[in-house]
Amino acid sequence: MAANKEPYILLTIYMALYEQKYGKKPRINKYKEKWAMQDVLDSIGFEQAKDVLNYYFRTGKNGHPLNFFYNNFDRLEDMMIQINKDVANRARLLEQTKKLVEEE
């Protein structure tokens, strides 16, 4: 995949997630937004950017504006990582508790 297509791919994902959540297509200028999305890509990479974008639409942010995503993707990434760690830790603790109960 050519790197210059990645911002457009992420914008297409954004548009699909937006339409799925709000039932209408967002009005964006892909050419203009491509440059801001490229900054996200340069910072966290394509796969991580996809994950953070998907996580963004699971948050309670009203309207899910692109500018908010651009200005806060690093915080969103940190929150996503912390939540994933918490889920893994809870699963580990649940498994340990289950083993302790079975031993009694």
Report pLDDT digits (tens) over 4-49: 899 999 999 999 999 999 999 999 999 999 999 999 999 999 999 9
Q: Which of 21, 5, 16 is nearest to 63 (CA)?
A: 21
Q: Residue 104 has what pLDDT?
A: 73
Which residues fall within 8 angstroms of residue 68, CB to CB, at 6 or more apart?
61
Kindly report the pTM of this predicted structure: 0.82
Tens of pLDDT, residues 49-104: 999 999 999 999 999 999 999 999 999 999 999 999 999 999 999 999 998 898 87
